[in-house]
């Protein structure tokens, strides 16, 4: 069998409540895949601490010391989910043949990893985890989330509908991702741009095992704006279109005003004038704001600042051979 080393990368921000259970379930999943010879004994689980304010890093350190399957990456400070995820992916890229990225809150169905690995073994480079439905979501959550994906695509930020960051990527796909050097990251839109063979896996998203959601509505809106302005210039084109429409309307109003003047039916239109001033003024400010968003991103890109800084990368000193020996011992025990 080929050396199919699987790494599972999980960004963590204040996830002290769920980490022990997440580590336990994923270790069991790696053991199952190893037992069926789907992956190699060098496979690992990598937790990325994104500047957590609780005991997340201390728990990760302890997990690394007690398990040969677990590693930890500690960022120097909080850099946001996308940068933390990228830090994990780029750190393990040279060590893994395939990498699964997922959240640490256990909402993503771990069973889907089996199907992702099978699709990778069949030659697929990128496998997207896609929610099959949103029956467990509230009405507001369902409507806002689906509107998020539709709005993103309408505005030119091409994404996979109902896909977050639960995906498998091959080494080749990760090397392609490394070619994208922008500071303003939106991986849900960047990964489809890589262009290698891809497929989807449907799964049912569960409730958080513990803790609170890190993506309330306000953060989702901010995330959508970040994604759109990072991946598409369509808002700028809409401003141009809006300016053209207002110009046509102004010409019509100019002709109407001239005709009214020459036929002698001019009536002081204070209300109309005020409404027009406020409407046009609001559109100008909105347009300047959108342009400003893009100028700000250009400013940040030209600085060339690092997207993340890794303070520490923890590895258990035990070798991968210990993992293989552990699995073989388990097999012998099962037979006995």
Got the DSSP string for 107-124?
Answer: -S-TTHHHHHHHHHHTT-
What is the percent of the chain where pLDDT is above 70?
71
* Contact status, residue 126 vs residue 169, Cβ threshold 8 Å: yes
Instruction: Flag whether pLDDT at 271 surpasses 90.
Output: no
Spatial strand order of the sheet with 6-12 comes to 198-203, 126-131, 163-170, 98-101, 6-12, 44-49, 70-75, 310-314
Instruction: Flag whether pLDDT at 209 surpasses 60.
Output: no
* Same domain flag for 313 and 294: no
Q: CB count, 10 Å around CB of 250?
A: 12
Rounded Cα gap, residues 240 and 269, in angstroms: 29
What's the mean pLDDT when you consider all of the chain?
80
Is residue 223 domain-resident? Answer: no
The predicted-structure confidence for 246-270, as pLDDT tens digits, reads as follows 767 766 766 776 676 677 665 666 5
* Contact status, residue 53 vs residue 14, Cβ threshold 8 Å: yes
Determine the distance from the C-alpha atom of residue 59 to the mean position of all C-alpha atoms in its chain, rounded to a whole number: 24
DSSP string, 228-262: HHHH--HHHHHHHHHHHHHHHHHHHHHHHHHHHHH
* Same domain flag for 191 and 42: yes
Region class of 166: left (phi > 0), else alpha (psi between -120 and 50), else beta: beta
The predicted-structure confidence for 135-150, as pLDDT tens digits, reads as follows 666 666 667 666 766 7
> What is the predicted pLDDT for the residue at 136?
63
Average pLDDT over every residue of 266-281: 64
CATH of the domain at 165: 3.90.550.10
Average pLDDT over every residue of 64-89: 92
Output the six-digit token pair for 16.
Answer: 């002290």
Q: Band of the pLDDT at 69, cuts 50, 70, 90? A: very high
Phi–psi pair at 108, nearest 5 degrees: -75, 135
Instruction: Flag whether pLDDT at 210 surpasses 70.
Output: no
> What is the predicted pLDDT for the residue at 333?
40
Helices (H), the chain: 19-35, 56-66, 81-92, 112-121, 139-154, 171-177, 187-194, 217-231, 234-263, 270-303, 320-335
The predicted-structure confidence for 49-63, as pLDDT tens digits, reads as follows 999 999 999 999 999
* Same domain flag for 261 and 326: no
Q: Band of the pLDDT at 159, cuts 50, 70, 90? A: confident
* Same domain flag for 164 and 49: yes
Rounded Cα gap, residues 336 and 327, in angstroms: 14
Nearest to 166 by CA among 193, 196, 190, 130: 130
* Same domain flag for 57 and 124: yes
Is residue 57 domain-resident? Answer: yes
Lowest-pLDDT range of 137-141, 153-157, 214-218, 324-328? 324-328
Is residue 221 domain-resident? Answer: no
Residue in this structure with the two tokens 């741009």, named with its chain if needed: 193
Average pLDDT over every residue of 306-326: 70
DSSP string, 180-206: ---SS--HHHHHHHH-S-EEEEEE---
Number of domains in the chain: 2
Q: Band of the pLDDT at 121, cuts 50, 70, 90? A: very high
Is residue 228 domain-resident? Answer: no
* Same domain flag for 157 and 284: no
Is residue 79 domain-resident? Answer: yes
* Same domain flag for 21 and 122: yes
* Same domain flag for 318 and 296: no
Determine the distance from the C-alpha atom of residue 210 to the mean position of all C-alpha atoms in its chain, rounded to a whole number: 21
The most confident of 170-174, 185-189, 254-258, 329-333, by mean pLDDT: 170-174
Average pLDDT over every residue of 292-305: 73
Is residue 260 domain-resident? Answer: yes
Is the whole-model pTM more than 0.75?
Answer: no
* Same domain flag for 28 and 117: yes
The parent domain of residue 162 ranges over 6-216+307-335
* Same domain flag for 131 and 278: no
* Same domain flag for 254 and 197: no
* Same domain flag for 12 and 134: yes
């Amino acid at each position: 069998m080929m050396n199919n080393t699987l790494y599972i990368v999980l960004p963590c921000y204040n996830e002290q409540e769920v980490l022990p259970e997440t580590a336990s379930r994923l270790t069991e999943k790696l053991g199952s895949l190893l037992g069926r010879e789907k992956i190699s004994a060098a496979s690992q689980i990598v937790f990325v601490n994104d500047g957590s304010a609780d005991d997340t890093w201390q728990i990760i350190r302890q997990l690394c010391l007690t398990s040969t399957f677990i590693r930890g990456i500690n960022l120097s400070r909080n850099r946001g989910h996308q940068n933390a995820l990228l830090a994990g992916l780029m750190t393990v890229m040279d060590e893994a043949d395939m990498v699964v990225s997922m959240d640490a809150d256990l909402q993503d169905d771990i069973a889907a990893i089996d199907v992702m690995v099978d699709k990778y073994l069949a030659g697929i480079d990128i496998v997207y985890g896609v929610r099959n439905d949103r029956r467990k979501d509230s009405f507001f959550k369902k409507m806002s989330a689906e509107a998020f994906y539709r709005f993103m695509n309408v505005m030119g930020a091409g994404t996979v509908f109902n896909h977050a960051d639960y995906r498998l990527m091959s080494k080749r796909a990760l090397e392609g991702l490394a070619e994208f050097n922008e500071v303003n990251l939106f991986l849900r839109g960047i990964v489809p741009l890589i262009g290698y063979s891809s497929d989807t896996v449907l799964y049912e998203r569960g409730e958080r095992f513990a803790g609170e959601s890190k993506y309330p509505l306000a953060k989702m809106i901010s995330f959508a704006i970040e994604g759109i302005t990072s991946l598409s210039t369509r808002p700028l084109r809409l401003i141009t279109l809006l300016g053209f429409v207002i110009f046509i309307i102004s010409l019509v109003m100019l002709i109407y005003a001239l005709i009214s003047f020459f036929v002698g039916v001019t009536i002081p239109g204070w209300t109309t004038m005020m409404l027009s001033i406020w409407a046009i003024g609001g559109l100008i400010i909105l347009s300047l704001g959108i342009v400003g968003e893009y100028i700000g991103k250009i400013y940040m890109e030209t600085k060339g600042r690092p997207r993340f800084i890794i303070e520490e990368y923890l590895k258990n000193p035990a070798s991968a051979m210990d993992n293989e020996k552990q699995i073989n011992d388990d097999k012998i025990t099962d037979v006995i």
